[in-house]
Structure 1
Amino acid sequence: MNDRAQNSAETGAAEFDMHRVAANIDRLVHANVASRTGGLSPIALSQVWWDWASHLAASPGRQMELAAKAAMTAGRLMDDAMRLDIQADDVRYQDPAWQGWPFNVLAASHKARQDWWAEATTGLRGMSDAHEKVAGFVARQITDMTAPTNSIFTNPEVQRETWRTGGQNLVRGMQYLREDLMLAATGQRPAGMEGYEVGKTLATTPGKVVFRNNLMELIQYSPTTGQVHPEPILIVPAWIMKYYILDLSPENSMIGWLVGQGFTVFCISWRNPGPADRDLGMDDYLNQGVMAALDAVAKVVPDQKIHATGYCLGGTLLTIAAAAMGRDGDDRLASVSLLAAQADFTDAGELTLFINDSQLALLEDMMWKQGVLKAEQMAGTFQMLKSNDLIWSRMIREYMLGKRGEPNDLMAWNADATRMPYRMHSDYLRRLFLNNDLAEGRFDVNGKAVALTDIAGPIFAVGTERDHVAPWKSAYHIQRLTDTDVTFALVSGGHNGGIVSQPGRAGRHFRLHTTRHGDVYLDADTWAETAARHEGSWWTAWRDWLVAHSGPLGKAPAMGAPKAGLKPLCDAPGDYVMQE
């Protein structure tokens, strides 16, 4: 190498090192900012504020309209102050004490503020649709935070309880607050969860771990019926949760119920990743997760097709895997069931409000520094989406009224959170949430594109009416993205409670309809109007659907496949689920 070439190479190397150092400095700064803002991008929020404020400033007519509405509302409140009748459509004001003065005025004023801000943040010509939705969300969070229910000085229920107990409710509330803060600071489980223990009172369906790799364990459950259908069921849970939401207490276990219906059931249990797993990506979870599990199931139950079932993000991952299998001519799937899962993120709910380039850059740099997205950081996001239910109502009940909520198995599972690798979560947020690559035909698996139209088997998809994580209309899009028969069930309840809905549970209902390949597509609202309504749990309809796509009952397979190198490793629920 001559001197000129050597100097050029050295200059290039120096510039590369300089760029890398500069990029790392920026990332550290962003990560430190994120640690102080809860992962929210102040730049993204300031862009929203500027978009709203500048367009409002340039709209004098709109200003006059909002000012007039505020004046009329204030005048109406003053005129009717002594005879306001607060409607009980807001659960915060259902107690009769809110009907008396001055609390009726406080409640009505709060509702008026909410309505005014909802109107003030919408309908501004020129403001982007995305910014308008964020502005409305932020305004709602602020008005919820300042509701009169949240202060002892303006909440008649708290005042009544304080008078009745001589202030002991506040003493208990402070004790509960101190206890919760200490448990959170030391990384311990929330108070009241002592009676729930994995392997003893939770995740107790008998079985064996028959396969394990660096990313997951595969559990095979022991048969409880004399005969079973030949096609096994493989469950793919979300990697952001412990799998046993589908195997809670014995009387509330989907896995236990499926085994009792004559099915051989397998379930993936993901390992809880740490900083060393930062570079695990989507392809890793597909290859070492779903595909490795399918390979293992095929060894235990050879020459049989498989009913694959995915829940939440696990359903999204399964959808991608099924599309890749269809692309590659792999016909091992008898059917695909998707429980509260999304493939098209166009209508993915309020989570999408904070999925933009600025927000993701900050979040990615925070995860880059940590190696993972921590469980408490993810939990905070979901709490913000339902702040009334998950933050303010709990604060009032426990810290002001001094009443601890009764713990249950679902609460215990919710407290047993997991982490997510930096690369995997970044892939998920950018490729799916932000860019919607899967629905729009740009998603690749192992370097080759996939299309949802390549999914060949029938699909059973479930959406829940009050889902704030995967809104049912978003889950419903699977009907227009695939070229196969889709049976869609719209079930009562929320993201978790609607799915974990065992037969015999009171007050449950669902709508069900099958769209055959070639049928005219129905939009979500039309579908909801025409689908037949049924009382009870959707589990029974799903079982009947699975049976209709299964062969006759026969002998149950052995546990594992020793001849194929799959010896039972340990009893269910396995080792990975125990990881902190």
Structure 2
Amino acid sequence: MTTTESDDRAINETNATTLEANLSRIEELTQRLLVAMNPKRHVPTSLQGPSPDLYAKAASAYVTEMMNNPGKIIEQQVAFWGKSVKHYIESQHLLAQGKLAHPVDETAPDRRFAHELWDTNPYFNFIKQQYLMNADAVRDAISAIDTMDDGEKRRLEYFGEQIVDMFSPTNFLATNPEALSLAAETEGESLVAGLENLIRDLEANDGDLVVTLADKEAFEVGRNLATSPGEVVYRNHLFELIQYTPSTEMVHEIPLVIFPPWINKFYILDLKPANSMIKWAVEQGYTVFVVSWVNPDATYRDTSMTNYVEDGYLTAIDQVKSICGVKKVNAVGYCIAGTTLSITMALMAQRGDKSINSATLFTTLTDFSDRGEVGVFLDDDFVDGIEAEVAEAGVLDRYYMSRTFSFLRSNDLIYGPAIKSYMLGKAPPAFDLLYWNGDGTNLPAKMSVEYLRGLCQGDNFATSGFDIADTTVRLSEVTVPICAIACETDHIAAWKSSYRGVQGMGSKDKTFILSESGHIAGIINPPSKKKYGHYTNPELGLTPDDWLADADKHEGSWWPRWDAWLAPRSGKQVKARTPGDKNHPVLGPAPGTYVAK
């Protein structure tokens, strides 16, 4: 026997041993998997998908279309059949000629099919092309329905796309060449690692399959996230107030108080020093306060929007005024916190309270006449389910919020990460933004229903008026200087709706900035990155499309432009303030205790 033959035999024996060990490990893990799936959370049917009525209406509309215009339906079907049969025949013809090749592939680039075998292997290319044909056929069928109202049609298009995405061949091991190749190369080790990742996620979530998006061991709030120096200077049942340590000798007289959304935790504004908006604002010479909201449990079931306004916003503003010895503050509200800040300002206007000198709104909706992509989850079928769930639980559990927002970007936040983790056996990345994304919060029962019914569904603030604190407030009552920043591809707060909300405000001094990118990346866009640009146009009487068509495009972050707007509205320069005062002793270092719950 030659040395080469001996080496090959040894390698084969080693590979066989490795494969056998991996198969044995899979058997052990399968038993653990069955145990992990037992305590699965009960998710009400109403929160698992749209009402069956939507699909019943779609089927009825399709049948009506077929009867009224059979030629159009037949044309669509024949076109789909023709493409599919032609594709099959061409593939068979090449194989009959002994050519290991696929027919001409004119499909558009798609990140899901980036692996080279989708283009070079006839089998996988056939599957890819046929899937994309099927997907187009589904879209064409939905598009052809003309007898559904616009809202139902949009929902059908969205949930139809969800079904199409779910059946992508990349989502199944037998039709994912990257996963199969890696399994062969590693003697099944990648599949074992993937199964371990799957079981870990099930065990961590009581039997629910929630994909871990980021390495949880790589980050710790207060250690390498939310590290800007500061102190907690006030605390009540709803929030901790953090005052940040100045980094300049002089500061603007009027302090800046930031209200983040209580749907998430505040440290999106302070992830790392390089992209921390809080750190940047301190460096521009502002006395910065941030509200860190409590993560409510069932004891908060009766906490209302009025509580958030009075015990949250108004209380925080009063504390900041007292600590700094001033009569006014500049306020910032992000997302739902911007909506509630606007409601607070309308209430303050009725009360004659002029404590807010100017307000900045990040990705804020105040006009809900067009709810954008997230609107598909805001019809009665879902909201009725949420109302029933919170009546029983006392809170809207973070699980439902996280799942809803993930499905708005399912390929990026569900299927893509699941493939990498469960099929390829890869560890989740050390990505701070995804870590924050997975660190969600609950919502109080009463507040969540008031928000969904009165604002998202009823659009009351921009129309008939929103009831708060024993009065009714309207969008037109917001009269302080406003700077609103929206994001071009925001899937949560559509920029055109944000723009229409600013148009409806009564302020004479209004500025609107449109940042490139989405709900998070468009806001957390530090100047040093030189990444996303922004648009400006002082003519706010235009339609959103006309506003953008006539807008000036600027390279780089909008942060310096906001600073140029905010600085003249922030008073004279005074000596920098250390956190707290004699009536507000330091309660502990930033980022506080509420953020850890």
TM-score, normalised with respect to structure 1: 0.88
State the partner residue of 1:163: 184
User: One-letter code of the match for 2:53?
Assistant: Q
Q: 1:236 to 1:38 in 2, by over 3 A?
A: same
1:22-80 CA-partner distances (Å, limit 9, x unpaired): xxxxxxxxxx9972437246xx5211111111121222225324323322332443365
Per-residue displacement from partner, 1:176-214 (whole Å, max 9, x unpaired)? 222222223399995722231122222221222222211
Larger CA deviation: 118-127 vs 412-421: 118-127
Alignment correspondent of 1:3: none
Tell me the equivalent position of 1:125: 146
- In structure 2, relative to structure 1, the CA distance for the partners of 1:189 and 1:121 (3 Å cut) is closer
Identity, % of aligned positions: 36
Match of 2:514 among 466, 480, 490: 490
- Residue aligning to 1:142: 163
The runs of 5 or more residues in structure 1 that have no matched partner are 1-31
Q: Give the 3-state SS of the residue equivalent to 2:303 in structure 1.
A: coil
Q: Which residue of 2 aligns with 1:39?
A: 47
**1:267 offset after TM fit, Å?**
0.8
**Paired residues of 2:476 and 2:505 also in contact (CA < 8 A):** yes
| Distance in 1 between residues matched to 2:217 and 2:278, nearest whole Å | 24
1:508-550 deviation digits (Å, cap 9, x = unpaired): 22222334xxx6x122222222222222222222112211322
**Would the alpha carbon gap of residues 34 and 442 (structure 1) be closer, same or farther in structure 2, given more than 3 Å must change?**
farther
Deviation at 1:320, TM superposition (A): 0.9
The residue aligned with 2:274 is 251
1:262 matched to 2:285: yes
1:343 aligns to what? 366
Do structure 1's residue 72 and structure 2's residue 78 form an aligned pair? Answer: no
Find the aligned partners of 2:244 and 2:326 in 1 and give their Cα distance. Answer: 19
Q: 1:439 to 1:422 in 2, by over 3 A?
A: same
What pairs up with 1:510-549 in 2 under 5 angstroms? Answer: 510-515=534-539, 521-549=541-569
Displacement of 1:130 in angstroms is 2.1
1:34 and 1:40 in contact (8 A); partners too: no
Aligned amino acid, residue 55 of structure 2: W
Q: What SS does the corresponding residue of 2:357 show, helix, strand or coil?
A: strand
- Residue 271 of structure 1: aligned partner: 294
Structure 1 match to 2:489 = 466
User: Secondary structure of the equivalent of 2:43?
Assistant: helix
User: Are residues 500 and 38 of structure 1, via their aligned partners in 2, closer, same or farther at CA, if it must alter by over 3 Å?
Assistant: farther
1:35 alignment partner, SS class: coil
Contact 1:199 1:572 in 2 (8 A): yes
Matched, 1:55 2:76: no
Separation in 1, partners of 2:431, 2:483? 29
Match in the other structure for 2:589: 571
Pair 1:88–1:164, CA change in 2 (3 A): farther
Flag the 1:447–1:73 CA change in 2: closer, same or farther, 3 A.
farther
Match of 2:360, SS state, is: strand
Cα distance in 1 for residues equivalent to 2:591 and 2:44: 37
1:573 to partner: Cα distance: 1.6
1:179 aligns with 2:200: yes
Deviation per residue, 1:464-497 (Å, 9 max, x gap):
2222211222222233212333322222332122
Show CA shifts across 1:284-312 (max 9, x none).
10111111111111112233421110111
Inter-partner Cα distance in structure 2 for 1:536 and 1:255: 19
Contact 2:254-2:326 at 8 Å conserved across structures? no
Once residues 261 and 513 of structure 1 are traced to their aligned partners in structure 2, the CA distance between those partners, rounded to angstroms, is 25
Q: 1:354 is matched with which residue: 367, 377, 381?
A: 377
SS in 2 for 1:185: coil
1:387 is aligned to 410
Task: State whether residues 224 and 272 of structure 2, in contact with CA within 8 Å, keep that contact through their aligned partners in structure 1.
Answer: yes
Classify 1:292/1:34 alpha carbon distance in 2 versus 1 (closer, same or farther; 3 Å). Answer: same
The 8 Å contact of residues 349 and 471 in structure 1, kept in 2 or not, is answered as: yes
State how 1:413-452 maps to structure 2 within 5 Å. Answer: 413-452=436-475
Q: Which amino acid aligns with 2:60?
A: S
Aligned to 2:19: none
User: In structure 2, the residue corresponding to 1:514 is in which secondary structure?
Assistant: coil
The amino acid of 2:45's aligned partner reads T
Matched, 1:287 2:310: yes
| Pair 1:309 & 2:332 matched | yes
SS of residue paired to 1:228: strand
The aligned amino acid for 1:295 is D
Flag the 1:33–1:171 CA change in 2: closer, same or farther, 3 A: closer
User: How many angstroms apart in 2 are the aligned matches of 1:40 and 1:166?
Assistant: 38
Cα distance per residue 1:144-187 (max 9 Å; x no partner): 11111112222222233333333322222122222222223399
Alignment size in residue pairs: 540
How far apart are the structure 2 equivalents of 1:545 and 1:126? 49
Q: Secondary structure at the match of 1:257?
A: helix
1:95 matched to 2:115? The reply is yes
Q: Distance in 2 between matches of 1:379 and 1:303?
A: 39
Q: TM-score, normalised by structure 2?
A: 0.85
CA distance in 1: counterparts of 2:348 and 2:230, whole angstroms = 28
Match of 2:572 in 1: 552
For 2:364 and 2:87, the matched residues in 1 are separated by 45
Query: Structure 1 stretch 460-469 or stretch 32-41: which is displaced more?
Result: 32-41
Task: Give the direction of change, closer, same or farther, for the CA distance of 1:38–1:574 in structure 2 (3 Å limit).
Answer: farther
| Runs of 4 or more consecutive aligned structure 1 residues displaced over 6 Å after TM superposition | 186-189
Report the RMSD for the aligned CA atoms in angstroms: 2.4
2:237 counterpart SS class: coil
Aligned to 2:10: none
1:114 equivalent in alignment to 2:147: no
Partner of 2:422: 399
SS at match of 1:172: helix
The one-letter amino acid of 1:166's match is E
SS in 2 for 1:175: helix
In 1, the alpha carbon distance for the partners of 2:368 and 2:170 equals 35
- 2:529 aligned residue: 505
* Equivalence for 1:4: none
Q: Report the Cα offset of residue 253 of structure 1.
A: 1.3
Go from structure 1 to structure 2 and tell me whether the alpha carbon gap of 1:505 and 1:33 turns closer, same or farther (over 3 Å shift): closer
| Residue type of the alignment partner of 2:547 | W
CA distance in 1, matches of 2:304, 2:426: 44
The answer to whether the 8 A contact 1:485-1:514 is kept is no
Cα pair 2:536 2:553 within 8 Å, conserved: yes
**8 A contact 1:268–1:293 mirrored in 2:** yes
1-structure distance, mates of 2:181, 2:470: 65
SS in 1 for 2:538: strand
Aligned amino acid, residue 552 of structure 1: K
Q: Is the 8 A contact 2:46 2:382 kept in 1?
A: no
Unaligned runs of 5+ in 2: 1-39, 92-101
CA distance in 1, matches of 2:177, 2:41: 40
Rounded to whole Å, the distance in 2 between the matches of 1:174 and 1:162 is 12
Give the SS at the match of 2:512. Answer: strand
CA contact (8 A) 2:363 2:486 kept: yes
Partners of 1:542 and 1:387 in 2: CA distance: 33
Tell me the distance in 2 between the aligned counterparts of 1:56 and 1:98. Answer: 34
- State how far apart, in whole Å, the 2-side matches of 1:260 and 1:335 are: 20
CA contact (8 A) 2:462 2:501 kept: no
SS of equivalent to 2:132: helix
C-alpha contact (below 8 Å) 2:233/2:586 kept by paired residues: yes
- For 1:198, the aligned partner's letter is V
For 1:500, the aligned partner's letter is: I
Q: How far 1:421 sits from its partner (Å)?
A: 0.6
Change in 2 beyond 3 A, CA 1:380/1:261: same
Check if 1:454 corresponds to 2:474: no
